[in-house]
Each structure stands twice: as structure tokens, then as C-alpha cells.
Amino acid sequence: ATPVGLLAGTGRGAQLGLLIRGPEVLEDTRRVGTVVLDKTGTVTAGQLEVTGVHAFGPAEDGPASDDDARRQVLLLAGAAESGSEHPIAQAIVDHAREVAGSLPDVRDFASSAGGGVRAGVEGTAVVVGQAAWLAENGVNVPAEVRDRLRAAQDSGSTAVLVGTAGTDAGAGRATGMLELRDTVKDGSAAAIARLRELGLRPVLLTGDNPGVARQVAAEVGIDPDDVYAGVLPSGKVDVVKELQADGAAVAMVGDGVNDAPALATADLGIAMGSGTDVAIEAADITVMGSHLGQVVQAIELSRATLRTIK
Ligand code: ADP
Ligand code: MG
């Protein structure tokens, strides 16, 4: 039988904008010692903006001026990304539409979670994403390009490369790079400070690059040793398991399709209400207002509820 106090706890949760799957969830919440936070859309707003468009060395048959070359990089990337719902894609599509008006149609769209996208645009197979994803698509990514990507990332940008896929005729070329920025949500730093006061260990987990992750961690007060960056969607589960092996029960907080397996693996899965349905389905608690402060409220509520029962 479910103790009356726990039922009352779920009712109180509803008033606070917390959808709690069942009364027993509050008991799991009490055991939590480590709180793993997804970066994009959880700690940050997940509303990226394109802050830089770069074109690399003009192709022989390419556009005449630098401005044309940059415009072409943005246009092709925008078209290729129009099939993706990733926050990176939305930012690139919005910016490309602003600059170019409408975008060309695409064919044969494909994407790799944690890698990037590929699509046929105006007869060219365009690839956008991480260096490894471009390489996988037969793009030659020279050392200078890798260096520029790393420099942008170290400065705190979410940076992706744009290129044309390789064909039977030869390797593809990296044509440019886009830099994007996200902002930390109001209240994230205060919520993380409160987690610490409650004796919990906050951990940052992201598929994004280490440069951005370190910067966000510093902004919200997460220990640099507790930052896991460049983690593939499948790897998020492994990080949760690794932290569980440390002894404390682990809560995972996330919003993306990529977070769903980790939400299910964690002792307690918490989804942001602004997140994808897949994440919400995998979670034990959904936070309706999408503020990290509510995650803290869920933990405080479970502690208060269980104190009442005892
Ligand atoms: P996060 O944990 O931040 O949600 P993801 O696992 O979704 O990260 O993505 C990790 C990385 O994969 C991104 O930072 C980006 O480099 C690349 N990537 C993923 N999706 C896309 C996309 N649609 N376009 C370009 N790059 C992408
Ligand atoms: Mg996310």
C-alpha cells in the first residue's frame, strides 16, 4: 500500500508544476546523491544563435567574393539542416532564412545523432556537423580546418563544419564553418548552488564540445572535474552507469531525444516540460515550467514528504 503522505506529496508536486509518475518516485528521489544535468535546453536555454559564418578557400568554380562564399555556406547549411529538429539546426535555418529569404529544397536527408546532417541541395550532397561526421561522408578535413574549428570551440562557441560529400570522383571539400552561441537560463546558477547546499553533486553532461561545456560549467558553478563533454547519445547511458558505480543514486535531468536512454537508466529521470515527448515518456518526473529551480523543488518536496511520513 502507498503511504498517504506520499500520495499527498504527489498532489503537492502537481501544485508546484511537477508531474510525478507515481508516489513511489518520491522515495527514489530521496536517495539521490548525484544530479546529472544535460547542457543544451536544460542548463542553457537551448535557443542558439548563429554568431559567425566563415568560408574556407574559394573553390575554383566557387563564388567570386568572400561575402558570396559566406552566403553560400550559410544557404547550403540552412537547406541541409531544414530536415533536422536539433537546436543547432533550428538556429542555422532561422539565420539562413533571415539572410536569404527562402531556402532551396533538399533530397535524401540523413542525420546522425551527435554527428550532424547530410542532404542533397541543388545537386550537391551537403554535410554539416562535427569533423568526424564530415570525414565519415568522404570530406577531406585538413589540419588548418580542424585547428580553426578547435579555436572556435575553445573560445566557447558551438561550432560546426560545412562541406560537400565525397563522390566516386574524389574527396569532398570542407567549405566553411558556422559558430553558434547559447545562453545559460536565468536561475540555473542559483538552482545548482542550492543542489550543493542540499549535499548533492551536480554533473554536466553534453554532446557539445569541451570548450563550450567548460565555459557553461564555470558560469553555473559546476566543478570542471564533473564535466563530461563530446559524449555521444549512446555514451550518456554509460556516464550514468559510471556515476552509479560511485555509490550514490543518480538523477538525470534532460530534454532531448538523445537524453531518453539516460533518463531511463538513471535511478530518477527528470524531463523538462519544454523537451521532446520521448524524453518526457522516459522520465519519472516532468518539470512543467522548465526551470532548474523546479528540479530542486522536486528533491526538496520528496525530502519533506518522507520526513512527514516517518
Ligand atoms: P547535446 O548533448 O548538446 O544535446 P547532441 O548529442 O545532440 O548534443 O549533439 C552533439 C554534437 O553533434 C553537436 O554539438 C554538433 O556538433 C553535432 N550535431 C548534432 N546534431 C547536429 C545537426 N543537426 N547539425 C549539425 N551538427 C549537429
Ligand atoms: Mg538537451
**233 and 177 in a common domain:** no
The predicted pLDDT at position 21 comes to 84
254 in ligand 1 pocket by Cβ < 6 Å? Answer: no
pTM of the model: 0.86
C-alpha–C-alpha distance, residues 25 and 267, integer Å: 9
Q: Which residue has the cell 573553390?
A: 59
- Per-residue pLDDT band for 62 (boundaries 50, 70, 90) equals low
Higher pLDDT, 30 or 178: 178
* Ramachandran region, residue 75 (left: φ > 0; alpha: ψ -120 to 50; beta: rest): alpha
C-alpha–C-alpha distance, residues 97 and 130, integer Å: 23
> Which residues are within 8 A (CB) of 284 and not within 5 positions of it... i.e. 6 or more apart?
20, 21, 25, 28, 268, 269, 270
**173 and 54 in a common domain:** yes
**176 and 62 in a common domain:** yes
**235 and 163 in a common domain:** no
Cα angle 261, 93, 231; round to 5: 30
Cα of 10 vs its chain's centroid, Å: 29
Q: Which residue has the cell 545562453?
A: 183
Q: How far is the CA of 115 from the centre of ligand 2 (A)?
A: 15
For the chain, the average pLDDT equals: 90
Domain boundary among 149, 181, 213: 181
C-alpha–C-alpha distance, residues 55 and 286, integer Å: 42
**22 and 77 in a common domain:** no
Here the CATH number for the domain that contains residue 42 is 3.40.50.1000
How does pLDDT run across 195-207, given as a tens digit for each residue?
Answer: 999 999 999 999 9
The predicted pLDDT at position 5 comes to 65
**258 and 202 in a common domain:** yes
208 included as an active-site residue: no
The predicted pLDDT at position 282 comes to 92
How does pLDDT run across 235-287, given as a tens digit for each residue?
Answer: 999 999 999 999 899 999 998 888 999 999 999 999 998 888 899 999 999 99
**216 and 172 in a common domain:** no
Choosing from 76, 106, 130 the residue with most ligand 1 atoms within 8 A of its CB, the one to mutate for a pocket test is 130
**299 and 238 in a common domain:** yes
**193 and 143 in a common domain:** no
206 in ligand 1 pocket by Cβ < 6 Å? Answer: yes
The predicted pLDDT at position 164 comes to 97
Q: Into how many domains does the chain fold?
A: 2
Q: Is residue 232 pLDDT above 60, yes or no?
A: yes
The predicted pLDDT at position 306 comes to 58
3-class DSSP state of 158: strand
Strand partners, 161: 129, 177
The predicted pLDDT at position 63 comes to 65
Q: Is residue 310 pLDDT above 60, yes or no?
A: no
Domain boundary among 120, 147, 181: 181
Q: How far is the CA of 41 from the centre of ligand 2 (A)?
A: 4
List the domain range (segments joined by +) for residue 289: 4-46+185-309
C-alpha–C-alpha distance, residues 292 and 296, integer Å: 7
Q: Is residue 60 pLDDT above 80, yes or no?
A: no
C-alpha–C-alpha distance, residues 94 and 101, integer Å: 10
> Which residues are within 8 A (CB) of 27 and not within 5 positions of it... i.e. 6 or more apart?
6, 302, 306
What average pLDDT does range 24-37 have in this prediction? 85
C-alpha–C-alpha distance, residues 110 and 84, integer Å: 9
Choosing from 95, 127, 208, 215 the residue with most ligand 1 atoms within 8 A of its CB, the one to mutate for a pocket test is 208
**72 and 121 in a common domain:** yes
**206 and 146 in a common domain:** no
The predicted pLDDT at position 8 comes to 66
Residue closest by Cα to atom 1 of ligand 1: 207
Domain boundary among 124, 148, 181: 181
The predicted pLDDT at position 307 comes to 60
What average pLDDT does range 180-190 have in this prediction? 96
How does pLDDT run across 3-20, given as a tens digit for each residue?
Answer: 666 666 677 777 888 888
**55 and 173 in a common domain:** yes
